């Protein structure tokens, strides 16, 4: 992500379902819930570390904090909680003022939603069998799915992706009468 990109991302931005801000801190397994939740969004999401998450004040990060964001260690710590696995990348980028940030880009699930496969995490906040999500219609937060509309959104995306997979394999799958799966996913 170039300097222009981080500045445009942060300028006047607020947290949304696809954008999470975290204060400057070293890597913490406390971010696992956010990573799992963003993996269950249609297009995934981004976590920007180095922004005070209540006031959105740019803090930046120290070199020591940045050094803790080792992608291999992060994957090793996320993987025991994610079924199936979660794809994400990390990068370090600077804004026009020279402050550094870590950006975690979480990819959406490929075919089936990500389910938490074991209890644990900091403060034992993760629960096995739970699906974490960031609802676009409520206050932006990573939480267990708690409404039928959020669960329906996840299931519809999964069903549309399965249909697309079958089509790629050239399997004949009849569409439900009057339902346009391709329009549902916006051309994924």
> How many of the other CB atoms lie within 10 Å of CB of 47?
21
Rounded Cα distance between 106 and 88, Å, is: 4
CATH topology of domain 3-145: 3.30.950
pLDDT averaged per 10 residues, the chain (length 188): 71 89 90 96 95 90 97 96 96 94 96 95 91 90 93 92 79 60 58
- Cβ-Cβ contacts under 8 Å for 15 (sequence gap 6 or more): 21, 53, 140
- DSSP for the chain, please give it: --HHHHHHHHTT----SSEEEE-S----GGGHHHHHHHHTSTT-EEEEESB-TTT--B----HHHHHT--HHHHHHHHGGGEES---EEEEEEE-TTS-EEEEEEEPPPSSS--EE-SSBSGGG-B-TT--EE--TTSSS--EE--SHHHHHHHHHHHHHHHHHHHHHTT---PPPTT--HHHHTT--
β-partners of residue 48 are 21, 103
Quote the pLDDT of residue 165.
78
Determine contact, residues 50/60, Cβ cutoff 8 Å. Answer: yes
* Two tokens, residue 116: 């938490």
Rounded Cα distance between 166 and 182, Å, is: 13
Q: What is the dihedral of CA 117, 122, 123, 126, to 10 degrees?
A: -20
Quote the pLDDT of residue 123.
81
* Two tokens, residue 180: 């346009």
């Amino acid at each position: 992500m170039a300097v222009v990109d981080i500045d445009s991302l942060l300028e006047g931005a607020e947290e949304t379902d696809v954008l999470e801000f975290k204060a400057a801190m070293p890597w913490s397994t406390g971010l696992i819930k956010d990573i799992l939740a963003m993996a269950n969004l249609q297009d995934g999401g981004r976590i920007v570390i180095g922004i005070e998450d209540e006031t959105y004040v740019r803090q930046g990060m120290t070199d020591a904090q940045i050094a803790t964001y080792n992608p291999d260690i992060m994957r090793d710590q996320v993987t025991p909680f994610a079924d199936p696995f979660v794809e994400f990348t990390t990068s370090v980028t600077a804004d026009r003022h020279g402050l550094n940030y870590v950006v975690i880009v979480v990819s959406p699930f490929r075919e089936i939603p990500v389910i938490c496969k074991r209890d644990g995490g900091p403060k034992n906040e993760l629960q096995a069998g739970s699906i974490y999500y960031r609802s676009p219609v409520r206050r932006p937060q990573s939480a267990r799915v708690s409404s039928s509309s959020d669960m329906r959104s996840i299931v519809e995306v999964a069903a549309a992706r399965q249909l697309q997979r079958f089509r790629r394999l050239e399997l004949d799958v009849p569409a439900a009468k009057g339902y346009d799966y391709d329009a549902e996913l916006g051309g994924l």
